[in-house]
Amino acid sequence: MSGRLPEGWAETTLAAICAHRSGSSKLIKGKLHAAWRPGRYQGFSASGPDVWCDGWEHEGEALVVSAVGTRCGKAFRARGRWSAIANTYVVWPDPRAIDLDYLFLHLNNEDFWVKGGSAQPFVKVRETLERPFCLPPLPEQRRIVAKVEALLAEVSAAKARLARASLVLERLRQAVLAAACSGRLTEDLRASVAAPQAAGPAETAPGAAPAAPGSDGDEGSRRRLPASWVVCPFGALVDNHDGGRVPVKSADRERRRGPYPYYGASGIIDSIDGYLFDGDYLLIAEDGANLLSRTTAVAFPARGRFWVNNHAHVVQPKAGVALEYLEMLLNSLDLQHHVTGSAQPKLTQAALNGIPAPLPPAEEQAEIVRRAQALFALADTIEERVAMARARADKLPQAILARAFSGELVPTEAELARGEGRKHEPVEVLLRRVRGDGATPGHSKPSATPS
């Protein structure tokens, strides 16, 4: 803390009000128990309370700190009978001067610790504990802990709501796709048309048939399609250009960096100095786990000049068929009945061409695309705001702690004492009394034989 200390606080060091020692180098994680049984005691490793010992070295409350590794500085509360094993440090606060939970707020901040090493970071315990430390009175410490815990609980609840919002938005997108490709998104449009709409271009495509009641073209579905729609094989709606694909090894692409995007099964994966296609195309994943997991879209547009490897089908819609509608259709379908293979799922060209595709008239396709894209844009805007809120929420814990440790989160003990007409003990006085007593916090008990 820079500047003047809050009234009643004092500057000291944690070394002056805490005892500390390293965990037992005789207790090795790999030689201890992974599960609890009667007669075993909790052991703390650098990863936390994740092992069990046949004996115990310490009794009571303390903080165990991860001393080595990428998460060094992470702290854990220890209570009862327990042991700290190799690669940990144990800190016992003097309860006359500092509250255990208040100390935990400091020590559990990995940035609080002075560290060394790069490949294998480690905490510099002595250097950390001998730094100047600003200490409030004990009653104030406890109020700070209570306020911090309440605020952090609110932050956690807010982050949980934000996480649910992201899930709701993803479900909204899937619902829009389903409504778009079943006719529900444009029910009002069809109802407002007095005369039957003109026949769609797919009615003349090979295999085209009027939409059967109770089916939208996907084997697993039983949704009724509008009478003006048709169902036909996907291959009848597009021209396939898979024969123009050329895979290029990554080592060769290194030597051929250029301005043109290089597409794979899930989108752009590289750039290259040439192109195979020029125009507006729809790319569809041919293989990969994403065909079933649907982590990303399986169909996506590619426009302009670009290169495609042999992991994505390349198609162009026939006249009167909207590329964007076909994109939404494929991304709305459950492809598990069309995909072969388990270790490496694959959507063959024959399977892709045979997918039953529900198709509305051209005018309705355009309106479906317009409405769906407007809803997607709204979802994207909301998601951007959710992401911004999540980023702010991620910063809140450190901001809360910064205010707590500077005396700005709760009224000081001195202020409360004056308001209540009572006396209080400044920390300077308390520290002199503690030093005069000379006692230090105990930290160990006779141990049983460790495993």
Residue 369 has pLDDT above 70, yes or no: yes
Q: Binning pLDDT at 50, 70 and 90, where does residue 448 land?
A: very low
Q: What is the pLDDT of residue 57?
A: 95
The pLDDT-based confidence of 435 (bands split at 50, 70, 90) is confident
- Does residue 422 register a pLDDT over 60? yes
pLDDT exceeds 70 at position 203: no
- Looking at residues 320-335, what average pLDDT do you find? 96
- Is residue 136 pLDDT above 50, yes or no? yes
pLDDT band at 342 (very low <50, low <70, confident <90, very high): confident
Kindly write down the DSSP assignment for every residue of 311-363, as one continuous string: TEEEEEEPTT--HHHHHHHHHHS-GGGT-B-SSS-B--HHHHHTSEEEE--HH
Those residues with Cβ within 8 angstroms of residue 54's Cβ, 6 or more apart along the chain or in another chain: 33, 39, 40, 41, 448, 449, 450, 451
Question: Could you tell me the pLDDT band of residue 118, with boundaries at 50, 70 and 90?
Answer: confident
* CA separation for the pair 36, 42 (Å, rounded): 8
What's the whole-number mean pLDDT along residues 416-444?
83
Structural element, H or E, at residue 11: strand 10-13
Of 117, 123, 118, the closest CA to residue 63 belongs to 123
pLDDT tier, 438 (very low <50, low <70, confident <90, very high otherwise): low
**Span 8-34, pLDDT tens digits:** 999 999 999 999 999 999 999 999 999
What's the average model confidence in pLDDT over 42-63?
A: 96
Distance CA 137, CA 193 (A): 77
**pLDDT above 80: residue 201:** no
Q: Does residue 222 register a pLDDT over 50?
A: no
> Taking all residues of the chain, what is their mean pLDDT, rounded to a whole number?
91
**Token pair 């936390």 is at which residue?**
48
The mean pLDDT of 88-96, rounded to a whole number, is 96
Closest Cα partner for 431 from 99, 13, 112, 100?
A: 13
The contacts of residue 314 (CB under 8 Å, 6+ apart) are 240, 241, 242, 244, 245, 277, 281, 282, 283, 302, 308
pLDDT given for residue 216 in this prediction: 53
Residue 119 pLDDT grade (very low, low, confident, very high; cuts 50, 70, 90) = confident
Backbone angles phi, psi at 115, to 5 degrees: -125, 155
**Residue whose tokens read 């605020």:** 151
Rounded mean pLDDT of 415-426? 93
Residue 208 has pLDDT above 70, yes or no: no
Band of the pLDDT at 443, cuts 50, 70, 90?
low
Q: What is the pLDDT of residues 76-91, one digit of tens each?
A: 999 999 999 999 999 9
Average pLDDT over residues 230-258: 97
**pLDDT at 70 (0 to 100):** 87
Q: What is the DSSP string of 294-306?
A: -SS-SEEEEEEEE
Task: Give the phi and the psi of residue 142 in degrees, each rounded to 5.
Answer: -70, -35
**Banded pLDDT at 71 (limits 50, 70, 90):** confident
DSSP 379-435: HHHHHHHHHHHHHHHHHHHHHHHHHHTTT-SS--HHHHHHHHT-----HHHHHHHHH
**Contact at 8 Å (CB) between 25 and 146?**
no
Residue-level pLDDT at 207: 62
Q: What is the mean pLDDT of residues 38-54?
A: 96
Model pLDDT, residue 214:
47
